[in-house]
Chain A
Amino acid sequence: MHVEVTGLNKRFGEFQAVSSVSFSIAKGQLIGLLGPSGGGKTSILRMLAGLETPDSGDIVFHGQRVNDLPPQERGIGFVFQNYALFKHMTVEGNIAFGLEVKKWSKAKIKERVAELVELTGLSGFEKRYPHQLSGGQRQRVAFARALAPEPQLLLLDEPFAAIDAKIRHELRSWLREMIDRLGITSIFVTHDQDEAIEVADEIMIISKGVLEQKGSPWEIYKDPKTPFVASFIGESTIVENIASLKGFQEAANWPGTKALIRPEYIEIGKENEFTLLSATEIGQVSHIHFRGSEWLVEIQIGDTKLVTYRSLEKDVLKVGDEVHVLVHRAYLYNEQNNWVMENALKADLLSVYI
Protein backbone atom coordinates (compact mmCIF):
# COMPACT_ATOMS: atom_id res chain seq x y z
CA MET A 1 0.00 0.00 0.00
CA HIS A 2 0.97 3.60 -0.35
CA VAL A 3 2.58 4.98 2.79
CA GLU A 4 2.84 8.68 3.56
CA VAL A 5 4.54 10.04 6.65
CA THR A 6 4.74 13.72 7.52
CA GLY A 7 6.54 15.50 10.33
CA LEU A 8 6.95 12.47 12.56
CA ASN A 9 8.36 13.21 16.02
CA LYS A 10 9.06 10.93 18.95
CA ARG A 11 10.78 11.69 22.22
CA PHE A 12 11.68 9.24 24.99
CA GLY A 13 12.17 11.39 28.09
CA GLU A 14 15.04 13.72 27.20
CA PHE A 15 16.05 11.73 24.15
CA GLN A 16 14.76 12.87 20.77
CA ALA A 17 14.51 9.52 19.00
CA VAL A 18 12.85 10.75 15.80
CA SER A 19 12.68 14.37 14.64
CA SER A 20 10.41 15.63 11.87
CA VAL A 21 10.77 12.71 9.54
CA SER A 22 8.71 12.83 6.35
CA PHE A 23 8.69 10.42 3.44
CA SER A 24 6.39 8.60 1.10
CA ILE A 25 6.63 5.09 -0.24
CA ALA A 26 4.99 3.86 -3.41
CA LYS A 27 3.04 0.60 -3.47
CA GLY A 28 5.10 -2.55 -3.90
CA GLN A 29 8.46 -1.02 -3.06
CA LEU A 30 11.07 -2.55 -0.79
CA ILE A 31 12.60 0.15 1.38
CA GLY A 32 15.65 -0.16 3.61
CA LEU A 33 15.94 2.05 6.67
CA LEU A 34 19.69 2.28 7.13
CA GLY A 35 21.70 4.02 9.81
CA PRO A 36 23.84 3.55 12.88
CA SER A 37 22.39 1.71 15.89
CA GLY A 38 20.26 3.85 18.16
CA GLY A 39 19.50 6.28 15.33
CA GLY A 40 15.72 5.96 15.48
CA LYS A 41 15.11 3.44 12.68
CA THR A 42 13.33 0.94 14.87
CA SER A 43 11.26 3.71 16.49
CA ILE A 44 9.99 4.77 13.06
CA LEU A 45 9.13 1.18 12.20
CA ARG A 46 7.33 0.66 15.51
CA MET A 47 5.32 3.86 15.00
CA LEU A 48 4.26 2.64 11.56
CA ALA A 49 3.14 -0.60 13.23
CA GLY A 50 1.27 1.24 15.97
CA LEU A 51 3.42 -0.29 18.72
CA GLU A 52 4.64 3.21 19.59
CA THR A 53 2.64 6.44 19.50
CA PRO A 54 4.22 9.43 17.76
CA ASP A 55 4.34 12.73 19.70
CA SER A 56 3.34 14.57 16.53
CA GLY A 57 3.08 13.98 12.81
CA ASP A 58 0.80 11.97 10.58
CA ILE A 59 1.01 8.42 9.33
CA VAL A 60 -1.23 7.83 6.32
CA PHE A 61 -1.85 4.43 4.74
CA HIS A 62 -3.76 4.45 1.45
CA GLY A 63 -4.97 7.98 2.06
CA GLN A 64 -6.35 7.13 5.50
CA ARG A 65 -4.76 8.56 8.64
CA VAL A 66 -3.94 5.63 10.94
CA ASN A 67 -2.38 7.43 13.91
CA ASP A 68 -5.26 6.49 16.17
CA LEU A 69 -5.64 2.94 14.94
CA PRO A 70 -4.22 0.22 17.21
CA PRO A 71 -1.74 -2.25 15.69
CA GLN A 72 -4.55 -4.82 15.40
CA GLU A 73 -6.37 -2.73 12.80
CA ARG A 74 -3.53 -1.46 10.63
CA GLY A 75 -3.28 -4.45 8.30
CA ILE A 76 0.45 -4.87 8.76
CA GLY A 77 2.81 -7.77 9.21
CA PHE A 78 5.74 -7.35 11.56
CA VAL A 79 8.87 -9.48 11.70
CA PHE A 80 10.74 -8.95 14.95
CA GLN A 81 14.49 -8.91 15.34
CA ASN A 82 14.42 -11.93 17.66
CA TYR A 83 11.52 -13.47 15.64
CA ALA A 84 9.22 -13.52 18.73
CA LEU A 85 7.79 -16.87 17.69
CA PHE A 86 5.23 -18.42 20.04
CA LYS A 87 7.37 -21.00 21.82
CA HIS A 88 4.48 -23.24 22.82
CA MET A 89 3.08 -23.53 19.30
CA THR A 90 4.33 -25.56 16.37
CA VAL A 91 5.37 -24.01 13.08
CA GLU A 92 1.84 -24.61 11.83
CA GLY A 93 0.30 -23.10 14.96
CA ASN A 94 2.45 -20.00 14.65
CA ILE A 95 1.51 -19.42 11.02
CA ALA A 96 -2.18 -20.11 11.67
CA PHE A 97 -2.39 -17.77 14.68
CA GLY A 98 -3.22 -14.59 12.76
CA LEU A 99 -5.81 -16.45 10.68
CA GLU A 100 -7.53 -17.96 13.71
CA VAL A 101 -7.66 -14.52 15.28
CA LYS A 102 -9.33 -13.22 12.12
CA LYS A 103 -11.84 -16.10 12.35
CA TRP A 104 -11.03 -17.70 9.02
CA SER A 105 -12.71 -21.04 8.41
CA LYS A 106 -10.76 -24.20 9.29
CA ALA A 107 -10.47 -25.28 5.68
CA LYS A 108 -9.21 -21.89 4.51
CA ILE A 109 -6.66 -21.73 7.33
CA LYS A 110 -5.35 -25.16 6.39
CA GLU A 111 -5.02 -24.16 2.78
CA ARG A 112 -3.27 -20.86 3.55
CA VAL A 113 -0.84 -22.47 6.02
CA ALA A 114 0.08 -25.14 3.47
CA GLU A 115 0.62 -22.43 0.88
CA LEU A 116 2.96 -20.45 3.15
CA VAL A 117 4.84 -23.53 4.33
CA GLU A 118 5.46 -24.31 0.67
CA LEU A 119 6.45 -20.71 -0.12
CA THR A 120 8.95 -20.47 2.72
CA GLY A 121 10.43 -23.91 2.12
CA LEU A 122 9.41 -25.24 5.52
CA SER A 123 7.75 -28.42 4.25
CA GLY A 124 8.34 -31.28 6.67
CA PHE A 125 8.82 -28.93 9.62
CA GLU A 126 5.14 -28.11 10.21
CA LYS A 127 4.93 -30.06 13.47
CA ARG A 128 8.17 -28.79 14.97
CA TYR A 129 8.47 -26.32 17.80
CA PRO A 130 10.59 -23.16 17.43
CA HIS A 131 13.37 -24.56 19.65
CA GLN A 132 13.76 -27.45 17.22
CA LEU A 133 14.56 -25.11 14.30
CA SER A 134 17.74 -23.41 13.12
CA GLY A 135 18.03 -19.61 13.08
CA GLY A 136 17.32 -19.39 9.38
CA GLN A 137 14.24 -21.59 9.69
CA ARG A 138 12.90 -19.53 12.58
CA GLN A 139 13.36 -16.44 10.46
CA ARG A 140 11.26 -18.03 7.73
CA VAL A 141 8.55 -19.01 10.19
CA ALA A 142 8.45 -15.42 11.46
CA PHE A 143 8.17 -14.27 7.87
CA ALA A 144 5.42 -16.77 7.02
CA ARG A 145 3.52 -15.89 10.19
CA ALA A 146 3.61 -12.18 9.37
CA LEU A 147 2.49 -12.81 5.78
CA ALA A 148 -0.31 -15.25 6.58
CA PRO A 149 -3.12 -12.72 7.25
CA GLU A 150 -2.33 -11.05 3.90
CA PRO A 151 -1.04 -7.72 5.24
CA GLN A 152 -0.84 -4.64 3.05
CA LEU A 153 2.50 -3.60 4.51
CA LEU A 154 5.33 -5.77 5.78
CA LEU A 155 7.68 -4.32 8.41
CA LEU A 156 10.93 -6.12 9.24
CA ASP A 157 13.15 -5.10 12.15
CA GLU A 158 16.78 -6.14 11.55
CA PRO A 159 15.54 -9.35 9.95
CA PHE A 160 18.96 -10.93 9.46
CA ALA A 161 20.88 -9.60 12.44
CA ALA A 162 20.88 -12.86 14.39
CA ILE A 163 21.86 -15.16 11.52
CA ASP A 164 25.40 -16.13 10.58
CA ALA A 165 26.99 -14.55 7.54
CA LYS A 166 26.65 -17.38 5.02
CA ILE A 167 22.96 -18.06 5.56
CA ARG A 168 22.30 -14.34 5.81
CA HIS A 169 23.37 -13.99 2.19
CA GLU A 170 21.01 -16.74 1.03
CA LEU A 171 18.12 -15.36 3.07
CA ARG A 172 18.61 -11.88 1.68
CA SER A 173 18.20 -12.92 -1.93
CA TRP A 174 15.38 -15.24 -0.91
CA LEU A 175 13.56 -12.34 0.79
CA ARG A 176 14.10 -10.09 -2.24
CA GLU A 177 12.62 -12.74 -4.55
CA MET A 178 9.73 -13.42 -2.21
CA ILE A 179 8.74 -9.77 -1.93
CA ASP A 180 9.04 -9.27 -5.69
CA ARG A 181 6.74 -12.22 -6.23
CA LEU A 182 4.13 -11.08 -3.69
CA GLY A 183 4.34 -7.41 -4.64
CA ILE A 184 3.83 -6.34 -1.03
CA THR A 185 5.10 -2.96 0.17
CA SER A 186 7.90 -3.68 2.61
CA ILE A 187 10.14 -1.69 4.93
CA PHE A 188 13.11 -3.22 6.68
CA VAL A 189 15.52 -1.82 9.22
CA THR A 190 19.21 -2.60 9.06
CA HIS A 191 22.55 -1.19 10.15
CA ASP A 192 24.38 -3.18 7.49
CA GLN A 193 24.88 -1.11 4.34
CA ASP A 194 25.70 -4.12 2.16
CA GLU A 195 22.35 -5.60 3.10
CA ALA A 196 20.48 -2.39 2.30
CA ILE A 197 22.31 -1.83 -1.00
CA GLU A 198 21.83 -5.41 -2.12
CA VAL A 199 18.17 -5.81 -1.23
CA ALA A 200 16.37 -2.46 -1.24
CA ASP A 201 14.77 -0.57 -4.10
CA GLU A 202 15.32 2.60 -2.14
CA ILE A 203 17.32 3.38 0.96
CA MET A 204 16.47 5.90 3.64
CA ILE A 205 19.53 6.92 5.63
CA ILE A 206 18.62 7.80 9.19
CA SER A 207 20.93 9.22 11.78
CA LYS A 208 20.16 10.78 15.16
CA GLY A 209 16.46 10.66 14.39
CA VAL A 210 16.79 12.64 11.17
CA LEU A 211 16.13 11.37 7.65
CA GLU A 212 19.38 12.31 5.91
CA GLN A 213 18.59 11.10 2.41
CA LYS A 214 16.18 8.90 0.51
CA GLY A 215 16.99 7.40 -2.86
CA SER A 216 18.11 4.35 -4.77
CA PRO A 217 21.36 2.76 -3.58
CA TRP A 218 23.18 4.01 -6.68
CA GLU A 219 21.90 7.59 -6.24
CA ILE A 220 22.99 7.64 -2.63
CA TYR A 221 26.41 6.30 -3.45
CA LYS A 222 26.95 8.59 -6.43
CA ASP A 223 25.42 11.73 -5.08
CA PRO A 224 25.36 11.86 -1.29
CA LYS A 225 23.41 14.87 -0.07
CA THR A 226 25.05 15.26 3.33
CA PRO A 227 28.55 14.58 4.68
CA PHE A 228 27.04 11.97 6.99
CA VAL A 229 25.61 10.01 4.08
CA ALA A 230 28.88 10.29 2.18
CA SER A 231 30.88 8.93 5.07
CA PHE A 232 28.33 6.29 6.06
CA ILE A 233 27.91 4.70 2.65
CA GLY A 234 30.97 2.96 1.30
CA GLU A 235 34.44 3.43 2.69
CA SER A 236 36.23 6.75 2.79
CA THR A 237 39.02 8.82 4.23
CA ILE A 238 38.61 12.43 5.29
CA VAL A 239 41.23 14.81 3.88
CA GLU A 240 41.52 18.10 5.77
CA ASN A 241 43.69 19.94 3.28
CA ILE A 242 42.35 18.95 -0.12
CA ALA A 243 43.74 22.00 -1.94
CA SER A 244 47.26 20.66 -1.47
CA LEU A 245 46.55 17.71 -3.76
CA LYS A 246 47.28 18.00 -7.47
CA GLY A 247 44.17 18.75 -9.48
CA PHE A 248 42.18 20.08 -6.52
CA GLN A 249 43.93 23.45 -6.00
CA GLU A 250 40.65 25.15 -6.84
CA ALA A 251 39.28 24.00 -3.49
CA ALA A 252 41.37 26.72 -1.82
CA ASN A 253 38.65 29.16 -3.01
CA TRP A 254 36.38 27.81 -0.28
CA PRO A 255 38.19 28.09 3.02
CA GLY A 256 37.25 25.46 5.62
CA THR A 257 36.38 22.89 3.01
CA LYS A 258 37.19 19.26 3.74
CA ALA A 259 37.16 16.34 1.36
CA LEU A 260 36.05 12.78 1.57
CA ILE A 261 37.82 10.37 -0.77
CA ARG A 262 36.75 6.79 -1.37
CA PRO A 263 39.34 4.05 -1.99
CA GLU A 264 37.85 3.42 -5.42
CA TYR A 265 38.44 7.08 -6.41
CA ILE A 266 42.19 6.55 -6.07
CA GLU A 267 44.59 4.78 -8.41
CA ILE A 268 48.15 3.97 -7.42
CA GLY A 269 51.08 2.40 -9.25
CA LYS A 270 54.54 2.64 -10.64
CA GLU A 271 55.39 5.31 -13.21
CA ASN A 272 54.72 2.99 -16.16
CA GLU A 273 51.18 2.20 -15.05
CA PHE A 274 49.86 5.71 -15.76
CA THR A 275 49.08 7.54 -18.96
CA LEU A 276 48.22 10.77 -17.15
CA LEU A 277 51.38 11.05 -15.17
CA SER A 278 51.16 14.83 -14.80
CA ALA A 279 47.97 14.48 -12.79
CA THR A 280 49.58 12.18 -10.24
CA GLU A 281 51.12 12.89 -6.89
CA ILE A 282 54.15 11.10 -5.51
CA GLY A 283 53.45 9.28 -2.28
CA GLN A 284 54.98 6.71 0.00
CA VAL A 285 53.43 3.41 0.99
CA SER A 286 53.08 3.52 4.77
CA HIS A 287 51.15 0.28 5.39
CA ILE A 288 49.86 -2.65 3.36
CA HIS A 289 47.29 -5.18 4.51
CA PHE A 290 46.19 -8.35 2.74
CA ARG A 291 42.39 -8.36 2.45
CA GLY A 292 41.78 -11.82 1.03
CA SER A 293 41.00 -10.72 -2.53
CA GLU A 294 43.10 -7.55 -2.76
CA TRP A 295 45.64 -5.37 -0.99
CA LEU A 296 44.62 -2.50 1.20
CA VAL A 297 47.31 0.13 0.80
CA GLU A 298 47.84 3.22 2.94
CA ILE A 299 49.78 6.02 1.26
CA GLN A 300 51.31 9.12 2.75
CA ILE A 301 51.45 12.26 0.57
CA GLY A 302 53.03 15.07 2.57
CA ASP A 303 50.86 15.13 5.68
CA THR A 304 47.81 13.63 3.95
CA LYS A 305 47.02 9.95 4.37
CA LEU A 306 44.96 8.12 1.73
CA VAL A 307 43.63 4.58 1.63
CA THR A 308 43.00 2.51 -1.48
CA TYR A 309 42.90 -1.03 -2.83
CA ARG A 310 45.29 -2.66 -5.25
CA SER A 311 44.71 -5.75 -7.33
CA LEU A 312 46.66 -8.90 -6.49
CA GLU A 313 47.50 -9.18 -10.20
CA LYS A 314 49.67 -6.06 -10.14
CA ASP A 315 53.26 -5.79 -8.81
CA VAL A 316 53.37 -6.22 -5.07
CA LEU A 317 54.20 -3.00 -3.24
CA LYS A 318 56.32 -2.81 -0.12
CA VAL A 319 56.19 -0.41 2.77
CA GLY A 320 58.39 2.60 1.94
CA ASP A 321 57.97 2.26 -1.84
CA GLU A 322 57.44 5.46 -3.78
CA VAL A 323 54.28 5.34 -5.87
CA HIS A 324 52.31 7.58 -8.16
CA VAL A 325 48.84 8.41 -6.90
CA LEU A 326 45.98 9.58 -9.07
CA VAL A 327 42.93 10.92 -7.25
CA HIS A 328 40.03 10.81 -9.72
CA ARG A 329 37.53 12.75 -7.65
CA ALA A 330 36.72 13.93 -4.19
CA TYR A 331 33.55 14.71 -2.29
CA LEU A 332 33.95 18.22 -0.90
CA TYR A 333 31.95 19.70 1.92
CA ASN A 334 31.92 22.69 4.23
CA GLU A 335 29.44 24.23 6.63
CA GLN A 336 27.10 25.44 3.87
CA ASN A 337 27.55 23.16 0.95
CA ASN A 338 28.70 19.85 -0.46
CA TRP A 339 29.56 18.75 -3.99
CA VAL A 340 31.68 16.34 -6.00
CA MET A 341 34.84 17.69 -7.65
CA GLU A 342 36.65 15.89 -10.46
CA ASN A 343 40.42 16.06 -10.80
CA ALA A 344 40.99 19.19 -12.91
CA LEU A 345 44.21 17.90 -14.51
CA LYS A 346 42.59 14.71 -15.76
CA ALA A 347 40.50 16.68 -18.22
CA ASP A 348 43.54 18.54 -19.55
CA LEU A 349 44.52 16.45 -22.55
CA LEU A 350 47.50 18.63 -23.42
CA SER A 351 49.41 17.45 -20.42
CA VAL A 352 49.30 13.82 -21.47
CA TYR A 353 52.76 12.39 -21.14
CA ILE A 354 53.86 9.96 -23.79
Chain B
Amino acid sequence: MRKFIKYSFSDLVRSYWTIIYFLFFAIISSAILYFSADMTKSIVSIMNVVIVLIPLVSIIFSTIYYYNSREFTELLLAQPIKRSSLILGQYTGLALSLSLSFLAGVSIPFIAGGILASEHFLDFLLILLAGTCLSFSMSAIAYMTALRHENKILGFGISLFIWFFLAVLYDGLIMLLLVLFREYPTNSLAIVMTLLNPIDLSRVSIMLGLDISALMGYTGAVFLKFFGTMRGLPISLLSMLLWILVPAYFMVRIANKKDF
Protein backbone atom coordinates (compact mmCIF):
# COMPACT_ATOMS: atom_id res chain seq x y z
CA MET B 1 0.00 0.00 0.00
CA ARG B 2 2.93 2.35 0.79
CA LYS B 3 4.04 2.32 -2.87
CA PHE B 4 0.60 3.48 -3.98
CA ILE B 5 0.40 6.22 -1.36
CA LYS B 6 3.80 7.41 -2.53
CA TYR B 7 2.91 7.45 -6.22
CA SER B 8 -0.48 9.13 -5.87
CA PHE B 9 0.91 11.66 -3.39
CA SER B 10 3.94 12.51 -5.54
CA ASP B 11 1.68 12.82 -8.61
CA LEU B 12 -0.84 15.07 -6.88
CA VAL B 13 1.54 17.22 -4.91
CA ARG B 14 2.95 18.43 -8.26
CA SER B 15 -0.46 19.13 -9.76
CA TYR B 16 -1.52 22.71 -10.47
CA TRP B 17 -4.72 22.22 -8.51
CA THR B 18 -2.91 21.30 -5.30
CA ILE B 19 -0.78 24.43 -5.64
CA ILE B 20 -3.84 26.58 -6.35
CA TYR B 21 -5.59 25.06 -3.31
CA PHE B 22 -2.56 25.88 -1.15
CA LEU B 23 -2.38 29.45 -2.50
CA PHE B 24 -6.09 29.90 -1.93
CA PHE B 25 -5.78 29.09 1.77
CA ALA B 26 -2.61 31.16 2.10
CA ILE B 27 -4.28 34.23 0.55
CA ILE B 28 -7.57 33.86 2.45
CA SER B 29 -5.76 33.36 5.79
CA SER B 30 -3.49 36.35 5.17
CA ALA B 31 -6.48 38.50 4.21
CA ILE B 32 -8.44 37.46 7.30
CA LEU B 33 -5.48 38.24 9.55
CA TYR B 34 -4.84 41.55 7.79
CA PHE B 35 -8.42 42.81 8.04
CA SER B 36 -9.19 41.69 11.57
CA ALA B 37 -7.11 42.74 14.52
CA ASP B 38 -8.83 40.36 16.90
CA MET B 39 -7.52 36.76 16.86
CA THR B 40 -10.89 35.32 18.01
CA LYS B 41 -12.57 36.85 14.96
CA SER B 42 -9.83 35.56 12.69
CA ILE B 43 -10.26 32.05 14.08
CA VAL B 44 -14.04 32.15 13.56
CA SER B 45 -13.61 33.47 10.01
CA ILE B 46 -11.11 30.81 8.99
CA MET B 47 -13.29 28.17 10.66
CA ASN B 48 -16.21 29.15 8.43
CA VAL B 49 -14.03 28.89 5.34
CA VAL B 50 -12.59 25.54 6.45
CA ILE B 51 -15.93 24.01 7.31
CA VAL B 52 -17.71 24.86 4.10
CA LEU B 53 -14.92 24.78 1.53
CA ILE B 54 -12.81 21.79 2.58
CA PRO B 55 -15.69 19.32 2.18
CA LEU B 56 -16.68 20.84 -1.16
CA VAL B 57 -13.17 20.97 -2.62
CA SER B 58 -12.30 17.50 -1.27
CA ILE B 59 -15.39 16.03 -2.91
CA ILE B 60 -14.84 17.70 -6.29
CA PHE B 61 -11.10 17.03 -6.37
CA SER B 62 -11.42 13.37 -5.32
CA THR B 63 -14.16 12.66 -7.85
CA ILE B 64 -12.15 14.20 -10.70
CA TYR B 65 -9.03 12.35 -9.56
CA TYR B 66 -10.76 8.98 -9.52
CA TYR B 67 -12.36 9.37 -12.95
CA ASN B 68 -9.13 10.75 -14.46
CA SER B 69 -7.01 7.90 -13.17
CA ARG B 70 -9.56 5.27 -14.17
CA GLU B 71 -7.44 3.80 -17.01
CA PHE B 72 -4.24 3.86 -15.00
CA THR B 73 -6.01 2.10 -12.12
CA GLU B 74 -6.92 -0.60 -14.63
CA LEU B 75 -3.29 -0.97 -15.67
CA LEU B 76 -2.16 -1.22 -12.04
CA LEU B 77 -4.84 -3.77 -11.20
CA ALA B 78 -3.46 -6.00 -13.95
CA GLN B 79 -0.28 -6.29 -11.87
CA PRO B 80 0.09 -8.86 -9.07
CA ILE B 81 -1.42 -6.67 -6.36
CA LYS B 82 -4.47 -6.67 -4.11
CA ARG B 83 -7.30 -4.35 -5.13
CA SER B 84 -7.68 -3.11 -1.56
CA SER B 85 -4.00 -2.00 -1.31
CA LEU B 86 -4.25 -0.01 -4.53
CA ILE B 87 -7.57 1.70 -3.78
CA LEU B 88 -6.67 2.52 -0.17
CA GLY B 89 -3.21 3.70 -1.27
CA GLN B 90 -4.59 6.01 -3.96
CA TYR B 91 -7.17 7.39 -1.55
CA THR B 92 -4.63 7.99 1.24
CA GLY B 93 -2.21 9.75 -1.13
CA LEU B 94 -5.05 11.94 -2.34
CA ALA B 95 -6.31 12.84 1.15
CA LEU B 96 -2.74 13.49 2.31
CA SER B 97 -2.01 15.92 -0.52
CA LEU B 98 -5.30 17.77 0.11
CA SER B 99 -4.57 17.95 3.83
CA LEU B 100 -1.02 19.14 3.25
CA SER B 101 -2.16 22.01 1.00
CA PHE B 102 -4.67 23.09 3.62
CA LEU B 103 -2.29 22.71 6.59
CA ALA B 104 0.53 24.63 4.91
CA GLY B 105 -1.80 27.25 3.39
CA VAL B 106 -3.40 28.10 6.76
CA SER B 107 -0.44 27.56 9.10
CA ILE B 108 2.14 29.76 7.36
CA PRO B 109 0.13 33.03 7.58
CA PHE B 110 -1.21 32.26 11.06
CA ILE B 111 2.26 31.44 12.42
CA ALA B 112 3.54 34.66 10.86
CA GLY B 113 0.54 36.42 12.46
CA GLY B 114 1.62 35.22 15.91
CA ILE B 115 -0.74 32.32 16.61
CA LEU B 116 1.97 30.39 18.48
CA ALA B 117 2.00 32.97 21.28
CA SER B 118 -1.76 33.53 21.21
CA GLU B 119 -4.25 32.22 23.77
CA HIS B 120 -6.13 30.70 20.82
CA PHE B 121 -3.33 28.36 19.83
CA LEU B 122 -5.28 25.28 20.94
CA ASP B 123 -8.37 26.44 19.04
CA PHE B 124 -6.20 26.89 15.98
CA LEU B 125 -4.84 23.34 16.39
CA LEU B 126 -8.44 22.13 16.60
CA ILE B 127 -9.19 23.85 13.26
CA LEU B 128 -6.19 22.11 11.71
CA LEU B 129 -7.35 18.77 13.10
CA ALA B 130 -10.95 19.31 11.99
CA GLY B 131 -9.84 20.41 8.49
CA THR B 132 -7.60 17.35 8.10
CA CYS B 133 -10.35 14.99 9.31
CA LEU B 134 -12.85 16.63 6.93
CA SER B 135 -10.40 16.24 4.02
CA PHE B 136 -9.99 12.52 4.78
CA SER B 137 -13.67 11.93 5.41
CA MET B 138 -15.05 13.79 2.39
CA SER B 139 -12.53 12.38 -0.05
CA ALA B 140 -13.38 8.89 1.23
CA ILE B 141 -17.08 9.55 0.59
CA ALA B 142 -16.34 10.93 -2.90
CA TYR B 143 -13.97 8.07 -3.78
CA MET B 144 -16.51 5.51 -2.62
CA THR B 145 -19.27 7.16 -4.65
CA ALA B 146 -17.10 7.43 -7.79
CA LEU B 147 -16.10 3.75 -7.49
CA ARG B 148 -19.75 2.78 -7.19
CA HIS B 149 -20.89 4.79 -10.22
CA GLU B 150 -19.22 4.43 -13.59
CA ASN B 151 -21.36 7.28 -14.92
CA LYS B 152 -19.35 10.43 -14.16
CA ILE B 153 -22.31 12.79 -14.04
CA LEU B 154 -24.21 10.54 -11.65
CA GLY B 155 -21.11 10.08 -9.45
CA PHE B 156 -20.50 13.81 -9.34
CA GLY B 157 -24.16 14.56 -8.69
CA ILE B 158 -24.44 12.16 -5.77
CA SER B 159 -21.21 13.43 -4.16
CA LEU B 160 -22.29 17.05 -4.50
CA PHE B 161 -25.69 16.19 -3.05
CA ILE B 162 -23.99 14.55 -0.04
CA TRP B 163 -22.03 17.78 0.51
CA PHE B 164 -25.17 19.91 0.09
CA PHE B 165 -27.06 17.67 2.51
CA LEU B 166 -24.36 17.75 5.20
CA ALA B 167 -23.40 21.41 4.82
CA VAL B 168 -26.79 23.00 4.22
CA LEU B 169 -29.87 20.78 4.48
CA TYR B 170 -28.84 18.99 7.67
CA ASP B 171 -29.00 22.11 9.85
CA GLY B 172 -32.48 22.83 8.56
CA LEU B 173 -33.47 19.27 9.41
CA ILE B 174 -32.16 19.65 12.97
CA MET B 175 -34.09 22.91 13.37
CA LEU B 176 -37.25 21.29 12.05
CA LEU B 177 -36.95 18.34 14.43
CA LEU B 178 -36.24 20.60 17.39
CA VAL B 179 -39.30 22.71 16.59
CA LEU B 180 -41.53 19.68 15.98
CA PHE B 181 -40.51 18.09 19.27
CA ARG B 182 -40.25 21.27 21.32
CA GLU B 183 -42.65 19.79 23.91
CA TYR B 184 -40.08 17.09 24.66
CA PRO B 185 -36.52 17.25 25.99
CA THR B 186 -34.44 17.40 22.83
CA ASN B 187 -30.93 17.99 24.20
CA SER B 188 -29.77 14.46 23.54
CA LEU B 189 -31.35 14.49 20.09
CA ALA B 190 -29.44 17.67 19.18
CA ILE B 191 -26.18 16.19 20.46
CA VAL B 192 -26.65 12.88 18.63
CA MET B 193 -27.57 14.64 15.39
CA THR B 194 -24.49 16.84 15.64
CA LEU B 195 -22.31 13.78 16.16
CA LEU B 196 -23.79 12.24 13.03
CA ASN B 197 -22.64 15.05 10.74
CA PRO B 198 -18.87 15.61 10.39
CA ILE B 199 -19.33 19.23 9.28
CA ASP B 200 -21.55 20.13 12.25
CA LEU B 201 -19.33 18.18 14.59
CA SER B 202 -16.27 20.18 13.47
CA ARG B 203 -18.11 23.47 13.76
CA VAL B 204 -19.48 22.79 17.25
CA SER B 205 -16.15 21.46 18.54
CA ILE B 206 -14.28 24.55 17.36
CA MET B 207 -16.90 27.04 18.53
CA LEU B 208 -17.06 25.53 21.99
CA GLY B 209 -13.36 26.15 22.36
CA LEU B 210 -13.97 29.84 21.82
CA ASP B 211 -15.82 31.94 24.36
CA ILE B 212 -18.57 32.69 21.87
CA SER B 213 -20.41 29.48 22.81
CA ALA B 214 -22.22 31.62 25.40
CA LEU B 215 -23.99 33.25 22.45
CA MET B 216 -25.60 29.93 21.66
CA GLY B 217 -27.78 30.19 24.79
CA TYR B 218 -29.19 27.14 26.55
CA THR B 219 -28.27 24.72 23.76
CA GLY B 220 -24.75 26.12 23.88
CA ALA B 221 -24.61 25.31 27.59
CA VAL B 222 -25.85 21.76 26.97
CA PHE B 223 -23.33 21.29 24.18
CA LEU B 224 -20.53 22.71 26.30
CA LYS B 225 -21.45 20.27 29.04
CA PHE B 226 -21.15 17.37 26.59
CA PHE B 227 -18.45 18.33 24.10
CA GLY B 228 -16.35 20.36 26.52
CA THR B 229 -15.78 17.50 28.93
CA MET B 230 -13.51 14.51 28.86
CA ARG B 231 -16.48 12.33 27.97
CA GLY B 232 -17.41 14.33 24.89
CA LEU B 233 -13.94 14.56 23.40
CA PRO B 234 -13.31 10.83 22.79
CA ILE B 235 -16.87 10.41 21.50
CA SER B 236 -16.39 13.33 19.07
CA LEU B 237 -13.07 11.92 17.90
CA LEU B 238 -14.56 8.45 17.52
CA SER B 239 -17.45 9.81 15.50
CA MET B 240 -15.05 11.70 13.23
CA LEU B 241 -12.92 8.58 12.84
CA LEU B 242 -16.01 6.58 11.87
CA TRP B 243 -16.75 9.17 9.17
CA ILE B 244 -13.39 8.22 7.66
CA LEU B 245 -13.33 4.47 8.36
CA VAL B 246 -16.89 3.59 7.30
CA PRO B 247 -16.60 5.11 3.77
CA ALA B 248 -13.10 3.59 3.48
CA TYR B 249 -14.52 0.16 4.36
CA PHE B 250 -17.25 0.48 1.72
CA MET B 251 -14.67 1.78 -0.77
CA VAL B 252 -12.75 -1.51 -0.46
CA ARG B 253 -15.94 -3.60 -0.55
CA ILE B 254 -17.14 -1.90 -3.72
CA ALA B 255 -13.68 -2.16 -5.35
CA ASN B 256 -13.48 -5.89 -4.61
CA LYS B 257 -16.73 -6.59 -6.42
CA LYS B 258 -16.28 -4.10 -9.24
CA ASP B 259 -15.61 -4.79 -12.92
CA PHE B 260 -12.81 -2.53 -14.12
- Do these two chains really belong together in a complex? no
Question: What is B's interface to A at a CB cutoff of 8 Å?
Answer: none
